Structure 1
Amino acid sequence: MLIATSVPQTWIWNGFPICYVTEGDHGPAVLLVHGFGASWGHWRKNIPELAKYCRVFALDLIGFGDSAKPTPNQKISYTFETWGQQIADFCREIVQDKAFLVGNSIGCIAIMQAAVTAPDIVQEVALLNCSLRLLHIRKRSEMPWYRNYGASLVQELLKYSWFNQLFFNLLATPQTVKNVLLQAYKRDEAVTDDLIKILLKPAQDQGAVEVFAAFTRYSQGPLPEDLLPQLPCSAIILWGADDPWEPVELGEEFNHYSTVKKFIRLEGVGHCPQDEAPELVNPILLDWMISRKTY
């Protein structure tokens, strides 16, 4: 399996340095957007294969990876509106073409937000285990009382910097990250030391704690069911059927939206199919972008 060895580049967005990589010199443009706590490195098993036929771009959302992590203030907030604008501006300034947008987890919400607010930058979108945002304030009433109370308590405590640091220090360890990945991934062998390092490295950056706390407290903004009917383009959805966080049965309900062309279950795969099962994901994405025979 080819692993991306792309040299990271820097793009200045609103005064902040943003990390991105690019590979491939012909074919359609595709932009890959990671999920919470991840970075472009989560696409390292996809970039080389896609780059044989496409111009591939992958960026670190502001607050993640090697991109800037400014303290939340009046100039920057960690919301899907912010990330959607970042993606739209990146497509206009760096990609300079309509792109196929591919996201994983919260990256799916970010690319849909970009597509809805900036239709000129998008061809179509692919959603990989889209975040259902089950802790969103509008979904709290559907949760058991004890889960709602627990989530609300943690979010309230995250208003205090001492708790943020303590909580973050407990999570940002190799063993804890490994345990979380072993829960999220169905294939244990995909949880490698290399993957753990990719996810842990940005946690050492200044501002990482504040970004973590800000997003964990964030229970507003768009839900996928808000954005799907507004999409100015078609979408395909890929879903690891063994995802413990985003149940596939709830994901399959998105099939009801006219913008969804295809829903593909990936059996025996968890929350991050692009990393866990690239041999399944890469051909689907290439067929979607290149041949269009299936879709």
Structure 2
Amino acid sequence: MNSKPGVIHDSSLYKAFSQSPVRAAGNKPDLSIYRSPGKAEYGAFSYTAPVEGLLQIGGPHSAETKWTDDFEIAWTKMGDRGPLVLFLHGVPTNRSQWEEVQGQISRFCETISIDMLGMGESSKPRLYGRKDDPVSNDRWHWANDVDYIEKLMQHEFPGRRFIFIADDWGSGIASHYAARHNDRLEALIQVDPVAFDGYPVNEIQAIGRASEIPNTPEGDAQFAMLFAAFDQTLVQILKSMVYDPSRYNQYNLRYLTFPYVDVDYERNGQNDGITDVARSTTMRLKLHNLRVLSDRAAILSPALLLPYHPQCNPNGVQYQNITVPTLIMWGEYDNMMPAAQTQRFVHALGTKDVQISYVPRAGHFPATDNPDHVTDTIINFIRRIVGHQALADIYIGNHGIWKGDERQMIQELRMIYGLKD
């Protein structure tokens, strides 16, 4: 063993890499060799917004609402050591989209995933910012989400720099955040990002168009009729975003559809006078939440993610301010936003350290299609940026054919790099 952690002798590495297998070669990877991330912790950040929105109170189908600027941003924390990592999801999803990847990465990093305002378990303000200006809808610009992300991270992890991982819609927010708070980041990772003039897309544009329906009782009735089959539409949208549609089924889809559609485990325990047992005709749509989604989708435009110009595009992204190392990942079979857009980031960002990686057998949601490859790429990128000793544990992979001596190897490598079990 070396006398100083991090000072590597050839003899130490030889010992680490020449163990005799204790089980037959070719066995499946045994991820239990890594340190446990511990149990996930769930909570919410109380956020006072600069403007008000109309929140629904008294249950998912209540007609009772109130104007408020006090909202909650729901989060999941996993892991307690290593570099700090923030995950932000896409649309129409929530933080559960990152659950599998977050679970693996939290063995090596301290992680937090959040639901963006208006989605998942976070507050869903209708007519956000339109109490005094019914026409304007610009509070849903991606740039405005930067405010609660910065306040949340400073509240939960004061002064700590972090690695921002985002995909789809979340990456639009991440681009604006990185351009404004580059000094707060260790690195930026974008996965199938909405960027430049590649947005909006038809699937989401159609939802946004419904925001033109008046916010009146008559308008709400019209909205309800137009969205009567939204549960089917939502499932089809989600299945079009993955390379392998069988990744989604009626069980795991519940985690993504619950903000917009009644699910059986909710209804079966409600005893609300309609029925105690969920049936197709009783699992209603949550129209308040759908109107919030429609409002969010309506405001998005290519200008919001094209490069900044003081006269031509004042709401654009100042990409040149982003000087931290950046990883751009893209599913090779993304049929929503083509992977060829990756090369544009190389020329737009202010950093020369731009790594591009294509995810095999993956569509627009690579973390769902191929979580092992996504995890492997992210951890290797983070290790390159922060070094071996900064991770909470030694990483020697999560897939492929293992020799069988990994449990002994990792113990030796922990000693070499001065890491605790």
**Structure 1 length as normaliser, TM-score?**
0.84
Shift of 1:47: 1.5
Aligned position for 1:178: 235
Moved over 6 A (4+): 1-5
What aligned pairs does 1:1-295 form with structure 2 within 5 A after superposition? Answer: 6-14=40-48, 15-74=70-129, 77-96=139-158, 97-132=160-195, 134-135=198-199, 157-160=210-213, 161-162=219-220, 163-171=222-230, 173=231, 175-204=232-261, 207-220=288-301, 222-223=304-305, 225-226=307-308, 227=317, 228-258=319-349, 259=351, 261-292=354-385
Shift of 1:157: 4.7
Shift of 1:104: 0.7
Mapped to 1, the partners of 2:362 and 2:72 lie a distance apart of: 34
Aligned position for 2:419: none
Mapped to 1, the partners of 2:372 and 2:306 lie a distance apart of: 27
Q: Is the 2:361–2:369 contact (alpha carbons within 8 Å) kept by the matching residues of 1?
A: no
Change (3 A) 1:229 1:194: farther
Mapped to 2, the partners of 1:121 and 1:33 lie a distance apart of: 16
- Identify the structure with the greater helix proportion: 1
Deviations along 1:68-93, one digit per CA (max 9) or x if unpaired, are: 00112337922212212221111111
Match of 2:193, SS state, is coil
Q: Is the 1:109–1:224 contact (alpha carbons within 8 Å) kept by the matching residues of 2?
A: no
Aligned position for 2:54: none
Match of 1:180, SS state, is helix
C-alpha RMSD of matched pairs (Å) = 2.9
Change (3 A) 1:4 1:268: farther
Shift of 1:276: 1.4
Q: Is the 1:37–1:65 contact (alpha carbons within 8 Å) kept by the matching residues of 2?
A: no
Shift of 1:114: 1.3
Change (3 A) 1:214 1:79: same
Change (3 A) 1:109 1:192: same
**Structure 2 length as normaliser, TM-score?**
0.60
Mapped to 2, the partners of 1:234 and 1:212 lie a distance apart of: 32
Mapped to 2, the partners of 1:293 and 1:9 lie a distance apart of: 28
Aligned position for 1:139: none
Match of 1:57, SS state, is strand
Mapped to 2, the partners of 1:288 and 1:45 lie a distance apart of: 18
Change (3 A) 1:155 1:189: closer
Shift of 1:37: 1.8
Shift of 1:118: 2.2
Mapped to 1, the partners of 2:210 and 2:236 lie a distance apart of: 24
Range with greater deviation from structure 2 (237-246 or 65-74): 65-74
Mapped to 2, the partners of 1:108 and 1:280 lie a distance apart of: 19
Range with greater deviation from structure 2 (70-79 or 207-216): 70-79
Mapped to 1, the partners of 2:207 and 2:379 lie a distance apart of: 41
Match of 1:77, SS state, is helix
Shift of 1:275: 1.7
AA aligned opposite 2:173: A
Q: Is the 1:41–1:198 contact (alpha carbons within 8 Å) kept by the matching residues of 2?
A: yes
Match of 1:195, SS state, is coil
Range with greater deviation from structure 2 (278-287 or 70-79): 70-79
Mapped to 2, the partners of 1:230 and 1:277 lie a distance apart of: 32
Match of 1:22, SS state, is strand
Q: Is the 1:126–1:237 contact (alpha carbons within 8 Å) kept by the matching residues of 2?
A: yes
Match of 1:210, SS state, is helix
Shift of 1:95: 2.6
AA aligned opposite 2:369: E
Shift of 1:192: 2.9
Shift of 1:235: 1.3
Aligned length: 280
Mapped to 2, the partners of 1:154 and 1:206 lie a distance apart of: 13
Flag the structure with larger Rg.
2
Shift of 1:135: 4.3
Match of 1:243, SS state, is coil
Range with greater deviation from structure 2 (156-165 or 269-278): 156-165
